[in-house]
């Protein structure tokens, strides 16, 4: 099983979309193994978005992500990293398919509701920024025997 990092961004929290995001993860059969509501400080935001430093959207992105509370999650399941990226949709909500979170709830690229790790390396790196080992819960969902063959 893979574990990936997913976060409801401040616009998602302010718009009351935490529950919808969580429902989509749960209904797909993925398991939330850590979850935390927090306000990201500037230093953490810089670390999280280090790959985008120097880009024209970098400063607005840091302002956006530090502007209010976020809900950070660790999500586990078979192929969790790519499945969560699919559930989230394309970066620009205008390119995101209906049925995805961004395609159903977003319009502007700078207000795209959720963040999701894009690879095994990013998932590990980002999970380590937001969670310590004691933040994870070890359990399995009762229906996993029916979700996995
Ligand atoms: P991702 O969130 O789909 O992985 P990235 O390319 O990693 O997309 O960009 C990180 C975040 O930066 C995006 O989710 C979005 O909030 C913001 N962003 C990316 N490109 C632009 C842009 O061209 N204008 C404004 N914001 C952008
Ligand atoms: Mg990214």
Structure confidence by residue, pLDDT tens digits, 123-134: 999 999 999 999
Q: What integer best gives the mean pLDDT of the chain?
A: 98
Does residue 55's CB lie within 6 angstroms of at least one atom of ligand 1?
no
Q: Is 41 part of a structural domain of the chain?
A: yes
Q: Is 96 part of a structural domain of the chain?
A: yes
Please give the Cα distance from 133 to 8 (Å, whole number).
21
Q: Is 149 part of a structural domain of the chain?
A: no
Please give the Cα distance from 130 to 32 (Å, whole number).
14
Q: Is 99 part of a structural domain of the chain?
A: yes
Question: pLDDT tens across 24-35, in order?
Answer: 999 999 999 999
Q: Is 78 part of a structural domain of the chain?
A: yes
Q: How confident is the model at residue 16 (pLDDT cuts 50, 70, 90)?
A: very high
What is the value of pTM for the model shown? 0.98
Please give the Cα distance from 32 to 24 (Å, whole number).
11
| Domains held by the chain: number | 1
Cβ atoms of 87 and 69 within 8 Å: the answer is no
Give the pLDDT confidence score for residue 127 in this predicted structure: 98
Q: Is 6 part of a structural domain of the chain?
A: yes
To test the pocket of ligand 1, the residue of 54, 61, 64, 92 to mutate (highest count of ligand atoms within 8 Å of its CB) is 61
Which residues are tagged catalytic?
115
Q: Is 148 part of a structural domain of the chain?
A: no
To test the pocket of ligand 1, the residue of 57, 87, 100 to mutate (highest count of ligand atoms within 8 Å of its CB) is 57
Q: Is 94 part of a structural domain of the chain?
A: yes
- Which structural domain, as residue segments, surrounds residue 122? 2-135
Give the pLDDT confidence score for residue 95 in this predicted structure: 98
Consecutive H or E run containing 60: helix 58-65
Which CATH number goes with the domain that contains 40? 3.30.70.141
Give the pLDDT confidence score for residue 101 in this predicted structure: 98
| Listed residues: CB within 5 A of ion ligand 2 | 118
Cβ atoms of 8 and 21 within 8 Å: the answer is yes
Residue 2 in 3-state DSSP? Answer: strand
Give the pLDDT confidence score for residue 31 in this predicted structure: 98
How far from each other are the two terminal CA atoms of the chain, in whole angstroms?
14
């Amino acid at each position: 099983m893979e574990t990936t990092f997913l976060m409801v961004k401040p616009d998602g929290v302010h718009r009351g979309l935490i529950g919808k995001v969580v429902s989509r993860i749960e209904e797909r059969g993925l398991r939330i193994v850590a979850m935390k509501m927090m306000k990201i400080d500037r230093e953490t935001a810089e670390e999280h978005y280090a790959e985008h430093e120097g880009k024209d959207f970098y400063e607005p992105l840091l302002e956006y992500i530090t502007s209010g509370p976020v809900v950070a999650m660790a999500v586990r399941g078979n192929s969790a990293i790519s499945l969560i990226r699919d559930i989230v949709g394309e970066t620009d909500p205008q390119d995101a398919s209906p049925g995805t979170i961004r395609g159903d709830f977003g319009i502007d690229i700078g207000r795209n509701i959720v963040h999701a790790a894009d690879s095994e390396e990013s998932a590990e790196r980002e999970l380590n920024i937001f969670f310590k080992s004691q933040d994870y819960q070890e359990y399995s969902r009762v229906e996993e025997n029916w979700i996995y063959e």
